[in-house]
Structure 1
Amino acid sequence: MTYKFTIIVPVYNEEDNLERVEKELSSYIKIATVSTSILFVNDGSTDKSQALIEAICERNEAFDYILFKENRGLSAAIKAGFDYVDSELVGYIDSDLQTTPEDFNILLKHIDAYELVTGVRSNRKDSFVKNMSSKIANGIRRAFTHDGMDDTGCPLKIIKTDYAKRIPMFRGLHRFLPAMIMLQNGRVTQVTVQHFPRMAGTAKFGLWNRLLGPLMDCFAYLWMKKKYINYEVSKSSK
């Protein structure tokens, strides 16, 4: 079957969440406004996540997976997914399901007019420290990139795949997806989505890498912006 939309699900030691992930995504596929498939990217998990992923893929035709040899981080998992998919649209959602896949239908309403549509988490169900560090990190990023986005950390995005595939690989890219689309002269927008408490597992980012990491990545982005080459092919014999 040919799918129009592929949802990437990065996974790192999420064995307690995967049963719920299967249930929620299987339910979403049935109500998705476009034909949708799921791609797990296992970022070198050391728990039982891979065995669970393989079982899920065996009983669900629309589910596939990639397994990393070793842990390489969220940005690598997302980029690998971009490189792997061949659908017209690609998106991603975190396996902690603090956002709901149902809200992809809200984002899909806008994707025809934009190259990237990202969620903005309303009424966030996180701790004060996590919310405040996220707010500070977003402010730092906006000052460097001028992307106008309020919540690039929201794990609910849809991108036109040909734009996603042209994003260069670098650590921290998941924080700069709108900015990287804008470098390609792509259009970006943000839409309010729901947010829920984490039901199982543990967060993979703490205060230190929520603040210092984004700051260091901003300097990497500025260097990349200066060196970035954008082109369009006007004609080809193939």
Structure 2
Amino acid sequence: MPAPQLSVVIPAFNEEGNVLALLAETVAALRGVLDFEVVFVDDHSRDGTLALLQGALATTPELRVLAHEVQSGQSTAIRNGVKAARAPWVATLDGDGQNDPADLPGLVAARDAGPADVKLYAGWRVNRQDSGSKKWASKWANGIRSRLLRDATPDTGCGTKLFERAAFLDLPYFDHMHRYLPALMQRAGWKTLSVPVNHRPRGAGVSKYTNLGRALVGIRDLMGVAWLITRSRRTAVRELE
């Protein structure tokens, strides 16, 4: 089987009410557009998520399913999915269904029209469908992050992203790194571009994060990424002949 042109990596934890619809939407958005695979990474769900995905393997040839033996978090699930991906470019979606797979062809088109040094196309939720408190917390966090990291990215929390696999795997790995991909890509010497995307209300289940919990972890992570940026060293390399 030839390698796909695009791998769609979707982390999921206790999302039995969302994964099959999300899979169907992703397949519908990409079939006939390019060769692709969908890699779901189940983060040791305690509900029927993994069983539903395993059942879908028989009817969806583009589907691959990875299962964590221990719950390890979203960043680890994304990284394991990217490591397993067979395409040179990877798109990500959150497993809760709030990201719209219909945006994926547009991200690929933006990539095809963009310069070669843009290695990350980050979704920008211009019309967020979340509670007022969640939107306020996100706006506050994005403002602080933007001032400290100067990554020129209005929305790093959006799960809809498209990036080069090799560039991603070259980044420093740590828990919650998926929230800082624009700054980390820029630290590595690449450019990033924000692309407006759709955002939808959660169809089923509940959010796995609280505003307070996200804020407490985010402060520590933000300081760590800022430190990484100050310690970055890059130089051009040439090989003698």
The two structures, once aligned, show a CA RMSD in angstroms of: 1.8
SS at match of 1:58: coil
Deviation at 1:22, TM superposition (A): 2.3
1:213 is the counterpart of 2:217: yes
CA pair 193-30 structure 1, distance change in 2 beyond 3 A: same
* Alpha-carbon distance between aligned partners in 2 of 1:231 and 1:72, rounded to the nearest angstrom: 35
Amino acid at match of 1:84: A
Report if the CA contact (8 A) 2:20-2:53 is conserved.
no
Report if the CA contact (8 A) 2:3-2:86 is conserved.
no
1:77 is the counterpart of 2:81: no
In the alignment, what sits opposite 1:192? 196
* Alpha-carbon distance between aligned partners in 2 of 1:235 and 1:52, rounded to the nearest angstrom: 51
In the alignment, what sits opposite 1:86? 86
1:181 is the counterpart of 2:182: no
In the alignment, what sits opposite 1:25? 26
**What is the TM-score normalised by the length of structure 2?**
0.91
SS at match of 2:57: helix
Q: How do 1:1-238 and structure 2 match up within 5 A?
A: 1-32=2-33, 34-112=34-112, 113=115, 114-228=118-232, 230=234, 234=238
* Alpha-carbon distance between aligned partners in 2 of 1:229 and 1:77, rounded to the nearest angstrom: 28
Deviation at 1:57, TM superposition (A): 2.0
What are the superposed Cα offsets for residues 6-47 of structure 1, whole Å, 9 maximum, x if unpaired? Answer: 010001010111221222122122253x32210011111111
Report if the CA contact (8 A) 1:28-1:101 is conserved.
yes
Deviation at 1:227, TM superposition (A): 3.9
CA pair 144-122 structure 1, distance change in 2 beyond 3 A: same
* Alpha-carbon distance between aligned partners in 1 of 2:121 and 2:66, rounded to the nearest angstrom: 25
* Alpha-carbon distance between aligned partners in 1 of 2:52 and 2:239, rounded to the nearest angstrom: 46
Amino acid at match of 2:19: L
SS at match of 1:150: coil
Deviation at 1:86, TM superposition (A): 2.7
**What is the TM-score normalised by the length of structure 1?**
0.92
CA pair 36-150 structure 1, distance change in 2 beyond 3 A: same
Deviation at 1:212, TM superposition (A): 2.0
* Alpha-carbon distance between aligned partners in 1 of 2:111 and 2:239, rounded to the nearest angstrom: 26
State the aligned residue count: 235
What are the superposed Cα offsets for residues 84-132 of structure 1, whole Å, 9 maximum, x if unpaired? Answer: 2131101100111112111011111222422100111122111100100
CA pair 231-63 structure 1, distance change in 2 beyond 3 A: farther
SS at match of 2:28: helix
Report if the CA contact (8 A) 2:29-2:105 is conserved.
no
Question: Which segments of 5 or more consecutive residues in structure 1 lack a partner in the other structure?
Answer: none
Report if the CA contact (8 A) 1:41-1:66 is conserved.
yes
Question: Which segments of 5 or more consecutive residues in structure 2 lack a partner in the other structure?
Answer: none
SS at match of 1:59: coil
CA pair 3-231 structure 1, distance change in 2 beyond 3 A: farther
Amino acid at match of 2:8: I
